[in-house]
Amino acid sequence: MKLPRLLCLAAGIILSAQPSQDSVQLRGRLSEIQARLTQVDRQLEALTKRRRGILVELQGITLQTDRIRAQAEGAKLKLDQTQAQIETIRSQQVGIQREIRRLQGDIRKQVRWMQAVGPWGDFGFMTNLRTFEQYLVQGRYLSWWRNRERTRLTRIQALNTDLQRQEAALQEAQKRHATEQQESARLAEDLGFAEKRLNGFLDGVRQDEARQKAIQAELAEEAIQLERMLASLLSRARPDSFSPQATFASLAGSLPRPVEGTLARSFGEHQHPKYRTRTMQTGLLIQAPAGTPVQAVAEGRVVFADFYQSYGPMVILEHGGGYYSLYTHLRVAHVAKGQVLRQGDVLGTVGETLDGPRLGFEIRQQTQAQDPNRWLKVKYR
């Protein structure tokens, strides 16, 4: 066997044993989905402790749908992972079979050469040697030749054993693939039913004036509760109050956007177009694709990272000088209380609201709400 061919085959086996970049990314996605499922389960548990209302009922249906969606996405990823494994095994089998055929071909050539030499075999040309030195040289050559043939036979046996192992792994992967296909199809069907139920509930709410007014009242009450929670949070004495390198007040008009998107609802008072009820929007609602990473607009310490009523997972950053930024309606929060973030660090991802995927973004001085657009370098339109 030529050395380059040996090295290529060995390199192929080593590389196939190492995790590919795709498989590493796949495991990362599955880990994210598991974290999302954990947060959804915690939110569903927290819902049981809240006062019943239309928002709680709707949030429960939405969370159940999101849970099934995450499970379906995870099942699809596992199915893709198994399919990729099957393709890798088949590719390795083809490579092993090709190498076996090549080695067998080399041995057949050697057998034909031996048949051509005749019944005296090696001695046919050994008798023609004139000196003892020539005899030694030819003897060493024949010894090397025999060892080479034994090496080929040993290699064929090893490759056949490896081929049997690959076949067993292939059968196991195919069985798992069939099971995962069934599970993925079942979850896709469940997701269809869940989304139909959610859309039906939303349609019913949109057509029911009493429900709409009840939701407006519940949202106003939750806004008051958030104000109280913030006042309680900010009134606690904290000797380790955060002190950034640059004062937050000096960053007015130069902050980056927390997420790229469009303005869904501006800061200030809004009147419902149909019911004439008035609500105060204490920040911005930014429309962006669900799952889009959300970044910290400035250096800060996490003082709250948990889900909060219909605001969903929420992160509050302390920026020093009594300034805070709030990020609500997250799908997943990636940070923990006490963690210090730099400007641009990802703290979570965009989640769902009654009106679709949105990020709630607020800036406050103590509990006083500020218009976030005035703090941003590029305003939302």
How many other β-carbons are positioned within 10 Å of the β-carbon of residue 329?
A: 23
Question: At 369, is the secondary structure helix, strand, or coil?
Answer: strand
- Tell me the β-bridge partners of 89: none
Q: Which residues of 62-87 are buried (b: 16+ CB within 10 A; e: fewer)?
A: bbbbbbbbbbbbbbebbbebbeebbe
CA atoms of 177 and 142, how far apart (whole Å): 51
Q: How far apart are CA 360 and CA 221, in angstroms?
A: 17
Q: What is the mean pLDDT of each run of 10 residues along the chain (381 residues)?
A: 42 46 77 84 83 83 89 91 89 88 81 60 49 52 68 84 89 91 92 90 81 80 85 69 77 95 90 67 93 95 90 92 92 91 95 87 91 95 89
* Token duo for residue 213: 């007014």
How would you write 245-280 as a 3-class SS string? CCCHHHHCCCECCCCCCEEEECCEEEECCCCCCEEE
What residue segments make up the domains of the chain, in order of their start? 3-207, 240-375
Query: What is the Cα–Cα distance from 371 to 325, expressed in whole angstroms?
Result: 11
Which positions ≥6 away from 86 have C-beta within 8 Å?
A: 170, 173, 174, 177
Given a contact cutoff of 8 angstroms between Cβ atoms, the answer to whether 347 and 327 are in contact is: yes
Q: Which of 299, 304, 290 is nearest to 332 (CA)?
A: 290
Q: Which CATH architecture has domain 240-375?
A: Distorted Sandwich (2.70)
**pTM as predicted:** 0.66
Q: Quote the pLDDT of residue 117.
A: 56
| pLDDT for the residue numbered 8 | 44
- On the 0-12 / 13-18 / 19+ scale of CB atoms within 10 A, 368 is exposed
Tell me how many degrees the CA angle 264-269-272 measures, rounded to the nearest 5.
70
* Cα 117 to the center of its chain, rounded Å: 65
Number of C-beta neighbours around residue 360 at 10 A = 23
